[in-house]
Structure 1
Amino acid sequence: MDRGLLDWLDDASAERGLYYAGRREGWDFRSYRELRDLVLATAAALRAHGVRHGDVVALVQRSGPGFVATFFGALAAGATPCTIAPPFAFQRADDYERHAAHLFGTVRPRITVCDDESQERIRKIAAVTELPEPVVFDQLVADAEPLGAPLTLPETALVQFTSGSSGFSRGVRISADALRANLDGMRQWLGCAPELPAVSWLPVHHDMGLVGFLLNVVVTGFDGHMLQPDDFIRSPQRYLRRISERRIAMTAMPNFGLSYILRRVRPADLEGLSFDSLRCLIIGAERIDPRVLDDVHALLGPHGLDRGALLPAYGSAEATLAVTGLPPGEGWSVGEPYAGDAASLAGTAVVGCGRPLRDRTVAVVGEDGGELPEGQVGEIVVRGVSLADGYVGDAGTASGTSLGDRLHTGDAGFLRDGQLFVVGRLGDGLKVSGKMVFAESLETLLHQRGIPERRVAVLLGVRDGVPTGVAVFAGVRDGWREIAHEVLSEWLGDAQLLAVEVPRGGIAVTSSGKPRRRVIWKSLCTGTYDDTTGPLAASPDA
């Protein structure tokens, strides 16, 4: 089903729409017909505020009807929406202000539409960046008369920021054709249809929550059930109950979300629940741990979850979102790089992320740019219909990702039987005895040994001419140093091993929760952590 980005406005259903989690167990429903009227009213209000064709409209809002109305209202007004993480996505105010000021300075929006929760913080940042004061959504649309019909779509339908795991986030220009092609490709891959409901707790400022869920749901026209990220953190049981009660067919999350369910949900919590309706649980955005997939199926399988519903996938902001994905029902698998490959981390099992979506190709290339044989690790390169047009302003090159007629992702992986296996981030690794060791692989091993996600980050590089591995602990607990020493010394040989301690929540992360390794590494090398840095010893007294 090929759908334009605003086609849903012409056939907006009064029966289907979006359900938003309210307080306690309540849910608020907005039909697509109600949302259509709000979108057209928002478009008229944006035009009245001076927004013209091709202008950028920044959104700093939580998931809600106002976000939907502002995003599609910007498109209906001929403008380009750009989503920016609200303050809740960052634990430290100074980190958020630096991050948001960079994003605002990059896109220079004509108008910023925020919610009440974000207004004061964004007002301060707008003053620093010499931008107009933000407008609260409810005030924007007050007394606005809807446009009779949407205006011509802008050339750039979305400015989407990269995660910033390798430095500052970069603004990616996504055309209307690329966005439409990615949504169409996902619908074909997943078999999306209006009668198949979906649920998500993912933040809508992130590409997985925005493109992968919200835009897909609205443009296709099926029922979407939306929780806030903190709703999920407070009670993953509520999310699971919704799947069971409403016969949900589709959902998505990163690996850490599955790990969180495993930590917080006991078998007794699942009594009376059924997950046999769930045909697509997409897993992406970060390295996938095969043990987590096994454990999730062991927990939910007795209640009807089919193993074939777990769908590892791979994507990037520069490709709009989805690049590869495992089809429903096939069942995920693991693979290892070719044992004789000098660039591989042999002996580690990597989860397959499926095959390319329609009209996309994926290759793995070596340092000379030539394609590598199956099983050999190299850089993942993507070609296809949904690549971005380029970056906004001075994109820089720190991330290792580059755009042209093909996308050099800066990610390492290998192909086997047409399926992509993602190993880690190029530049976040260290060559040991001729084999490349990746930070993400070591973090996975630490998590498997009991150190929770978001409580440790591994850094690898050459410091003062010495190969170095660093374990950064956020609120270190007894036994964690010993685990980290055992794992890092096994894989890193004679490299210098260091430990850095920061307070809980003190690991710099992107708006989607990934460690900002290169930012932390730079701080380490410039002495920021000198007071809390020491050798990573086999025992606390060593």
Structure 2
Amino acid sequence: MAIPDRGLLDWLDEASAERGLYYANRDGDWDFWSYGDLRSLVLRTASALRAHGVGPGDAVALVQRSSPGFVAGFFGALAAGATPCSIAPPFAFQRADEYATHAAHLLATVRPRAVVCDDESLERIRKISADAGLGEPVVFDELVAGAEPLAAPLPLPETALIQFTSGSSGFSRGVRISNEALATNISGMGAWLGCAPEYPAASWLPVHHDMGLVGFLLNVVVTGFDGFMFQPDDFIRSPLNYLRCLSDRRIVMTAMPNFGLSYILRRVRPADLDGLSFDAMRAVIIGAERVDPRVLDDFHALLGPHGLDRGALVPAYGSAEATLAVTGLPPGEGWTTGRPDAGHAASLAGTEVVGCGRPLAGRTVTVVDEDGEALPDGQVGEIIVKGVSLTSGYVGDAGSASGTSIGESGLHTGDAGFLREGQLFVIGRLGDGLKVSGKMVFAESLETLLHQRGIPERRVAVLLGVRDGTPTGVALFAGGRPEWRGIAHEVLAEWLGDAELLSIEVPRGGIAVTSSGKPRRRVLWQEMCAGSFPAEPRPLTAD
């Protein structure tokens, strides 16, 4: 039975000693933290933050992996009347210079009163904090050592979370999420998914990303069901262990981007699943990036013989500025694909688009043209979101190349899509496209075709734009294979008409991505135009 709506700290008043969070450890077992244990740690953390000089309305930056300390840091900041924000730890970035730039920008944006980190992040964060003119960061264990618990939580801050955008169009922006917006989004997800304390869940998603933080961790803790927590690198090392957890623990809910499904497909063979069962699974939430229908088909073909219902695959759409969830497919309904009307078919580069469900309660979604006029079903335009759980504004400079903005007319997402019988179909970023013969072709659509032709995800990025007055399409390969150039030429030449086609080869891992793994397309485009790549662009040919 679903629980009623709850405030962000209501769980502290009824913290269970039987349910809680299980953290995968190096011995192949679990470290269990009951909600009763976490409650005590949260109140100790709140007391320690107050002693550290944190007051109502201050920001607290958390640079930590998924851990009991992160949970206590997040809810402890709220219990101290402060506003938490989660910053990716260094492990999330392959290049040290990129991480330093990223973290320095976020810290300079929020100017936190306290920076709480874990041991492995301390040295890196210490230097970045010093360069930003901030105080010495504190390791979580040292922060709470000897602290007595706060008698009771302080009133919640007006801003309950500063959430960072992905930064795919440049620097991440800090988004102010109010207490009401955060609680409303969590309640909306609970109603959409049918969350209840008796339904266990599992996740490998990083807690610095909104899908892992709001969509999973906060949803689990506030609702009060068991959560089985992996590190992202646990999943990368062995997706089979994660699947075994889903089977052995009778997991009902999990979440991941399209990349996670395709990674499982590359690493797990049908024979590896002997003896496993996924018939308890009600919702595999799929979001954060465009969903490939072939990946959904193949994933169901792999796990379906072991009990996974097709209706358990639940595509969704959301954004940081909407706290997270905007639309979602109800569990059990079964996903579908669609195309826009014939006059807009080129905008999809010939691919079907997976439907991301209908708006959650209290939200409306419209698709508008360049003049802001609502478009009928099947017509491609910008996705506009109105209703509950929208951001109350940005921290600092609201300028961005992303095209996302919020005002009286609602949230202008900067995403292109279309509606069909109330369901939203998302195509890609408006700024990541090129007009060909009067119709838009999107980089994400072309990448989907390249993946379907055998080029793995994270190994190619498509960049589109106008360079020196010439429409241009670029295939950026990371550790590319010779045959990939021919595949890319065939796809890009078909859909980009007379545009100039270029290719750039960088080492594996050389494609700049956000902390959630999305290509930073506009940053990459600017670097290409400025000649900043170590390799020069060359013509993309069929040979």
Range that drifts further, 326-335 or 22-31:
22-31
Partners of 2:347 and 2:442 within 8 A in 1 = no
Shift of residue 532, structure 1, vs aligned partner: 3.2
2:302 maps to what in 1? 299
1:531 maps to what in 2? 535
1:330 maps to what in 2? 333
State yes or no: 1:451 paired with 2:452: no
Q: Deviations over 1:414-451 (max 9, x none)?
A: 00010000001001000111111000000000000010
Query: Take 1:180 and 1:530, find their aligned partners in 2: how far apart are those partners?
Result: 46
Shift of residue 404, structure 1, vs aligned partner: 1.7
- 1:7-406 equivalent positions in 2, closer than 5 A: 7-341=10-344, 344-345=347-348, 347-405=350-408, 406=410
1:435 maps to what in 2? 439
Range that drifts further, 113-122 or 340-349:
340-349
Query: Which stretches of structure 1, 4 residues or longer, exceed 4 Å deviation after superposition?
Result: none
Which residue, 505, 510, 515 being the options, matches 1:511?
A: 515
Partners of 1:282 and 1:313 within 8 A in 2 = yes
Query: Take 1:505 and 1:291, find their aligned partners in 2: how far apart are those partners?
Result: 25
State yes or no: 1:489 paired with 2:493: yes
Q: Deviations over 1:28-68 (max 9, x none)?
A: 10000000000000000000000000000000000000000
Task: Give the alignment's TM-score, normalised by structure 2.
Answer: 0.98
3-state DSSP of counterpart to 1:204: coil
Query: Take 1:538 and 1:214, find their aligned partners in 2: how far apart are those partners?
Result: 47
Match of 2:372, as an amino acid? G
Unaligned runs of 5+ in 1: none
3-state DSSP of counterpart to 2:391: coil
Give the share of equivalent positions with the same residue, in percent. Answer: 80
Query: Take 2:535 and 2:484, find their aligned partners in 1: how far apart are those partners?
Result: 19
3-state DSSP of counterpart to 1:532: coil
Unaligned runs of 5+ in 2: none
Match of 1:76, as an amino acid? A
3-state DSSP of counterpart to 1:58: strand
1:467 maps to what in 2? 471
The aligned length equals 539
Q: Deviations over 1:158-207 (max 9, x none)?
A: 00000000111000000000000000000000000000000000000000
Partners of 2:353 and 2:425 within 8 A in 1 = yes
Match of 1:196, as an amino acid? Y
Q: Deviations over 1:462-489 (max 9, x none)?
A: 0000000000001111201111001000
Match of 2:236, as an amino acid? I
Query: Take 2:366 and 2:395, find their aligned partners in 1: how far apart are those partners?
Result: 26
Partners of 1:524 and 1:530 within 8 A in 2 = no
Query: Take 1:120 and 1:304, find their aligned partners in 2: how far apart are those partners?
Result: 46
Shift of residue 343, structure 1, vs aligned partner: 7.8
Q: Deviations over 1:232-284 (max 9, x none)?
A: 00000000000100100000000000000000000111000000000000000
1:502 maps to what in 2? 506
Partners of 2:253 and 2:282 within 8 A in 1 = yes
Shift of residue 530, structure 1, vs aligned partner: 6.5
Q: Deviations over 1:489-527 (max 9, x none)?
A: 000011000001111111010000000000000000111
Query: Take 2:226 and 2:457, find their aligned partners in 1: how far apart are those partners?
Result: 32
Query: Take 2:312 and 2:482, find their aligned partners in 1: how far apart are those partners?
Result: 37
Shift of residue 100, structure 1, vs aligned partner: 0.5
Shift of residue 397, structure 1, vs aligned partner: 2.9
Query: Take 1:11 and 1:147, find their aligned partners in 2: how far apart are those partners?
Result: 17
Query: Take 1:157 and 1:314, find their aligned partners in 2: how far apart are those partners?
Result: 22
Shift of residue 342, structure 1, vs aligned partner: 8.1
Range that drifts further, 22-31 or 334-343:
334-343
